[in-house]
Amino acid sequence: MSLSYWLDQSKEETIPKDIVIIGGGIAGMSTAYWLQKYDPTLQIALVEKYEFGSGATGRNAGFITCGSVEHFNRLVGKHGKDEALEIWKFSEDNLTFLKEEIIQDNAENLLFEAKGSFSLAGAKSEFIELQDSAKLMKELGVNVEVINEMDIKTRTGGVSFVGGVKYLDDASVHPIKLLHHMKGRIEENGKNVTFHENNEVHKIEYRGDNKVIHTTKNKFEAPIVVFATNGYSPLLENFFKDKIFPTRGQVLATEAVPRFMEAPCYANFVLDYFRQLPTGQVVIGGFRQLQKDVETGYSDETSDVIQEALEKFLRDHIPAVREAKITHRWSGVMGFSVDGQPMVGALPADHQLYFVGGFTAHGIGLAFHSGKALADSLFEVNPIPGFLSAKRLQ
């Protein structure tokens, strides 16, 4: 975005850094965490336009699910068994790393629960795909269970579903508490990461081998810049214009009701979802498919069509909250990639500009490990896996 002379509050002085990370969501914070862990002496600035988590990270449903945007049988159809398993394991490891590095013994404070997640079919054709997926997954050693209509009713409180599967190793969390806790972990580890909120990056200039990163409040100079701007990336760098697509998702939340759900649920080919928080509130999202043409761009408004569909879903499928008061309605901007997989690595035109994003509605399940993958490649620990690499989209 351009900046007027009048609004420019940046100082003349340029602040030297080793790395500037743009974007204070889960991807930027995760990247800062791993870079600092690998080298605590690195001088890193994490720069966020608004407050940390004000993008999709503070607006999602908090599912930490494995896999990707589609059922496993389709993932195998696209990538073959080996790569599909690699993709699945990448997100399983995301959860393992989150537990080991960040959550540790703070599960209760972070509303973290590792109780698995369900994928429910409203139609027989989807249930057949889910059963096929479960068979493939079992062969590959993934923990999954097929469940019938009655199980769904008693275990999830959901009605009018014909069958489903349970992925036993999934989890859920309060995403903003997780983000702030991650920031706290970075601060505990040292003082070389500086945090800059309400500070928009509006221009990146070349100065010799370095970049000068102009923000509303500062000028940073660094050899390496990481874009962790997900859906907003095309606004900052043209490279992303045909690779990352800003896509809106909408949600509503009800007042607390007595607990009735064993674990969070996806429905309708991972497009719609609902979960009950440990504190009793129910969060329901999805139905973007009803207004695909409207659900793009950068507005965080809600629309009547989708909010009504969410309410109808609640009335038709979740009797426990049929009468519950709706307390919140919101939306958020996600970054969808071309093929549904995240994109991590250097931009082809400049190997000092990096990107970590394109999580296609699954960043809580992917970003922590993606930040590690970026750090692994910068420190030459491991190359970036092919399905993640920015190179595949050139």
Ligand X SMILES: Cc1cc2nc3c(=O)[nH]c(=O)nc-3n(C[C@H](O)[C@H](O)[C@H](O)COP(=O)(O)OP(=O)(O)OC[C@H]3O[C@@H](n4cnc5c(N)ncnc54)[C@H](O)[C@@H]3O)c2cc1C
313: left (phi over 0), alpha (psi -120 to 50) or beta: alpha
How far apart are the C-alpha atoms of 252 and 274, rounded to whole Å?
Answer: 10
Q: How far is the CB of 135 from ligand X (least distance, A)?
A: 25
CA 26 to chain centre: 7
Residue from 103, 367, 378, 393 touching ligand X (CB under 6 A): that is 367
Indicate the residue among 34 and 63 with the shorter CB distance to ligand X. 63
> With CB under 6 A as the contact rule, which of the stretches 53-61, 96-104, 162-170, 385-393 interacts with ligand X?
53-61
Distance set, CA 143 to CA 24, 117, 265, 287 (Å)? 33, 11, 16, 28
Is 371 in contact with 345 (CB distance < 8 Å)? no
Residue from 170, 200, 237, 376 touching ligand X (CB under 6 A): that is 200
Judged by CB under 6 A, does residue 371 bind ligand X? Answer: no
Judged by CB under 6 A, does residue 246 bind ligand X? Answer: no
Q: How far is the CB of 90 from ligand X (least distance, A)?
A: 13
Smallest CA-to-CA distance from 119 within 76, 79, 66, 81 is with 66
Indicate the residue among 74 and 362 with the shorter CB distance to ligand X. 362
Judged by CB under 6 A, does residue 266 bind ligand X? Answer: no
- Please, which of residues 215-234 interact with ligand X by CB under 6 A? 228-232
Indicate the residue among 70 and 132 with the shorter CB distance to ligand X. 70
How far apart are the C-alpha atoms of 160 and 168, rounded to whole Å?
Answer: 22
How far apart are the C-alpha atoms of 363 and 57, rounded to whole Å?
Answer: 8
Indicate the residue among 162 and 305 with the shorter CB distance to ligand X. 305
How far apart are the C-alpha atoms of 85 and 102, rounded to whole Å?
Answer: 25
Indicate the residue among 10 and 131 with the shorter CB distance to ligand X. 10
DSSP states of 32-74 = HHHHHHH-TT--EEEE-SSSTTTTGGGTS--EE--S-SS-HHH
Phi then psi for residue 119, to 5 deg, are -120, 120
Q: How far is the CB of 390 from ligand X (least distance, A)?
A: 14
Judged by CB under 6 A, does residue 50 bind ligand X? Answer: yes
How far apart are the C-alpha atoms of 204 and 64, rounded to whole Å?
Answer: 34
Indicate the residue among 53 and 163 with the shorter CB distance to ligand X. 53
Judged by CB under 6 A, does residue 214 bind ligand X? Answer: no
Judged by CB under 6 A, does residue 24 bind ligand X? Answer: yes
Distance set, CA 94 to CA 65, 113, 357, 371 (Å)? 9, 15, 14, 10
Question: Taking CB under 6 A as the rule, which mask of x and - marks residues 25-44 in contact with ligand X?
Answer: xxxx----------------
How far apart are the C-alpha atoms of 16 and 253, rounded to whole Å?
Answer: 44
Is 145 in contact with 305 (CB distance < 8 Å)? no
- Please, which of residues 315-354 interact with ligand X by CB under 6 A? 332, 334
Question: Taking CB under 6 A as the rule, which mask of x and - marks residues 134-173 in contact with ligand X?
Answer: ----------------------------------------
If DSSP states are collapsed to H, E and C, what string results for 23-39?
A: CCCHHHHHHHHHHHHHC
Number of residues that bind ligand X (CB under 6 A): 41
Judged by CB under 6 A, does residue 314 bind ligand X? Answer: no
Judged by CB under 6 A, does residue 267 bind ligand X? Answer: no
How far apart are the C-alpha atoms of 281 and 277, rounded to whole Å?
Answer: 5
> With CB under 6 A as the contact rule, which of the stretches 18-26, 121-129, 159-167, 217-225 interacts with ligand X?
18-26
Residue from 69, 201, 318, 375 touching ligand X (CB under 6 A): that is 201
Question: Taking CB under 6 A as the rule, which mask of x and - marks residues 292-311 in contact with ligand X?
Answer: --------------------
Sign (positive/negative) of CA torsion 325, 328, 331, 332?
A: negative
Residue from 49, 79, 166, 185 touching ligand X (CB under 6 A): that is 49
Q: Which amino acid is at 127?
A: F
Binding stretches for ligand X (CB under 6 A): 22-28, 47-50, 54-57, 59-63, 200-201, 228-232, 236, 249, 251, 285, 332, 334, 357, 359, 361-365, 367
